[in-house]
Amino acid sequence: MTQRKGGAVPRGAAPPDLVYTYKHSGSSEELRYSLRSVCKNADGLFGKVWLVGDCPSWAVGVEHLRASSPYGRAEDVRVKVAKVVNHPGVADTFVLMNDDFFLTEPITQWLAWHQGPASEFLQRQRERGASRVWMRPMQHTADWMAAQGYGDILVRQGHRPVLWDKARLREALNQYPPGRPLDVLGLFDLAGLNDTGKRGGNSKITSAEMFHRKVGKLGHPWISTSDAEFATGITGKYVRDMFPEPCRYEEADRG
């Protein structure tokens, strides 16, 4: 039987910090608009903002931690998250973000989301011909979690933020075998917050066809993009039109 052990945020607790794992890749505009979206639609629901990895020149009022790995995206995220959970300045709870997560509606809490059991999700990806390199960390993490007694875990991929207990995630990372491929999101049942959560569609939008198929129909208020779709596609224009005003984390005279 699958065990679900994600916890809830204690009442009266300080708001979580917002943590972005960020790697500069030619443009920082997605990060700019992600910050605008959470400032507008999640105001008061987070404390400090941390950028882990790179930091654009226009960013102000943020905390910055340097961390990176040259051994692929999954390992890069692992190294950056390890830096976060071992830093005393980060709040006891934090929301893990990507620079291309955009919050399109006001929220009152950080809900958890999933895409169903790992066995079903990975089988669907195999049938679609998904990259084995991309699936490998998820499979290894799901197998390890099953061996720890967590059964067929729910997949936390889907390009949405995840709320974590810092101490429990630090312990989970310490328990996970060194050198074994890791999908950090797969550790949710060990260290995530807000219980199991709800099932929702994948936020990623990479074309006009996907935009019309997904926006307003995902069951949650998050959308995400590819670099190309944000720069020149309908999704990028949609996000830029939604958040035209600078937020408090942008220096006014630099872009």
Residue extents of the structural domains in the chain: 17-242
> What are the start-end ranges of the H helices in the chain?
29-41, 73-85, 118-127, 132-145, 166-175, 188-191, 208-214, 227-232, 234-242
The topology under which CATH files domain 17-242 is Spore Coat Polysaccharide Biosynthesis Protein SpsA; Chain A (3.90.550)
Q: Which residues are within 8 A (CB) of 253 and not within 5 positions of it... i.e. 6 or more apart? A: none
| 18, containing H or E segment | strand 17-22
pLDDT digits (tens, 9 = 90+) for 179-209: 999 999 999 999 999 888 999 999 999 999 9
Q: What is the pTM of this model?
A: 0.93
Per residue in 74-128, pLDDT (tens digit) is 899 999 999 999 999 999 999 999 999 999 999 999 999 999 999 999 999 999 9
* Residue whose token pair is 């509606």: 105
Q: How many CA atoms lie within 13 A of 43 on its CB side?
A: 7
Residue 199: beta bridge partners?
A: 114
